[in-house]
Amino acid sequence: MAKFKLPPISPLLGSTLITYFKTLSYGNIEKKYYLKVVLTFLIILIATPFHWIDDLYYRLFIRKRKEIRSPIFIIGHWRSGTTFLHNILTKDNQMGFVTTYHSVFPNNLLSKYIFRTFMKSQMPEKRPGDNVRLAVNYPQEDEFAMSNMNPYTYYQFMYLPETYKLFYRRFIRFEGMENIKQKWIADYQKMIEEACNNTGGQIPMLKNPCNTGRIPLLLDAYPDAKFIHIVRNPITIFLSARKFFTELLPTLWFHEVDEKFIENMVLDVYEMLIRDFLEVKSQIPEKNLIEFKFEDFERNPMYYLEKIYNQFSIPNYTKTKIYFEDYIRKMSNYRKNKYEVIPEDLMFRIQEKWGFAMDLWHYDLPEYLDVIKKEAVPDK
């Protein structure tokens, strides 16, 4: 049966009124998106009384829970394989995680039976930009949840793409934002506690590429936090991230940018994120960090899953691995996006900005890619 679709509504429909208006104030909104702005506002208005009930419930009951363990953060640039690993690890019922519903309606968990029905009727079956399936209870990035709880979050750039550099400095590095750091941490802790309460897990398993650049902040809040860092061939990452954001952003933005802008954005953000991580990586205790290449993980996932459980002292691997094996088997037919050629000038630009990462992790041009030269334009 075909789903009934309303006119365009922003995923900010799950945010608070303060977060929504603060987000809109960050940049230019084109006239063609005014209807989306108004419709989104009306839904937030309807949901606001439920926000107050949710917050009261959290203060009275959830915040006092003590059994939640130190979180495990899956980090790495977008398209590095973090989603695949996150989806596997959250098959363990010990794990608490942000669901797709939670990521859109973080302020309506107590009233989820009302808003989840609405969300099911509107959400696509697959994520824009790739073939990953979506469902309200599937694991999701916590940055989306934070962007609807707190206006000081990097993913606000997706609604106003021209702000991506500014938001990186403010909401990943928190440059000159000392006054809002504590607010961000308090909201993040609340989100984690509610995620564990919502899914029933005691070990927060969080996947968020933005956290790759927030290591000092996360260690201040969670000194015993564990980190799993996945790397992947930067050439593959560029091609995949460019496609992903080119298809995702038009479903979210309030002002438009062209493909060249997105290309430059991907180049800039990868360089900033990976350099920032490498600069502070040594702050993570060695026992609390696991790093591997996605290509190696894809070839032998069970080896790395067992390593994660052993190194981080997570119990019940023997009982849980059958769920991992089952999920991996079901995903064996998953069709990844394919890329065959890359222009020579683009290859040069990637190597110029990301060569430090390719050298560090010993990557070269992927075997499946051919470099093509631009055809010379004949003189007239």
CB 287 within 8 A of CB 308: no
**pLDDT: which is higher, 295 or 132:** 295
Give just the sign of the alpha carbon dihedral 157, 109, 120, 24: negative
Spatial separation of the C-alpha atoms in residues 106 and 99, rounded to whole Å? 10
Mean pLDDT computed over 297-307: 97
For residue 180, pLDDT beyond 50: yes
pLDDT at position 132 is 67
pLDDT at position 378 is 41
Mean pLDDT computed over 31-48: 96
Mean pLDDT computed over 41-52: 96
The fraction of the chain above a pLDDT of 70, given in percent, is: 91
**pLDDT-based confidence at 380, cuts 50/70/90?**
very low
Spatial separation of the C-alpha atoms in residues 174 and 221, rounded to whole Å? 15
CB 110 within 8 A of CB 53: yes
For residue 308, pLDDT beyond 90: yes
45-51 contacts: CB < 8 A, separation 24 or more?
45/17, 47/13, 47/14, 47/105, 47/107, 47/108, 47/111, 47/115, 48/16, 48/17, 50/107, 50/108, 50/110, 50/111, 50/114, 50/115, 51/16, 51/107, 51/108
**pLDDT-based confidence at 245, cuts 50/70/90?**
very high
* 72-75/341-343 β-pairing: unpaired
Q: Single out the residue of 237, 245, 283 nearest to residue 261, CA to CA.
A: 245
pLDDT at position 67 is 79
pLDDT in tens, 222-232: 999 999 999 99
pLDDT at position 7 is 67
Spatial separation of the C-alpha atoms in residues 283 and 323, rounded to whole Å? 34
Token pair recorded at residue 175: 């440059």
For residue 379, pLDDT beyond 60: no
Spatial separation of the C-alpha atoms in residues 76 and 208, rounded to whole Å? 8
pLDDT at position 122 is 67
Mean pLDDT computed over 310-332: 95
Q: Which domains does the chain have, with CATH numbers?
A: 11-341 (3.40.50.300)
pLDDT in tens, 248-270: 999 999 999 999 999 999 999 99
pLDDT at position 123 is 67
**pLDDT-based confidence at 373, cuts 50/70/90?**
confident
pLDDT at position 241 is 96
pLDDT at position 246 is 96
For residue 66, pLDDT beyond 80: no
CB 225 within 8 A of CB 184: no
**pLDDT-based confidence at 371, cuts 50/70/90?**
confident
For residue 340, pLDDT beyond 90: no
CB 270 within 8 A of CB 238: yes
**pLDDT: which is higher, 175 or 1:** 175
Task: Please provide the average confidence, as pLDDT, over all residues in the chain.
Answer: 91
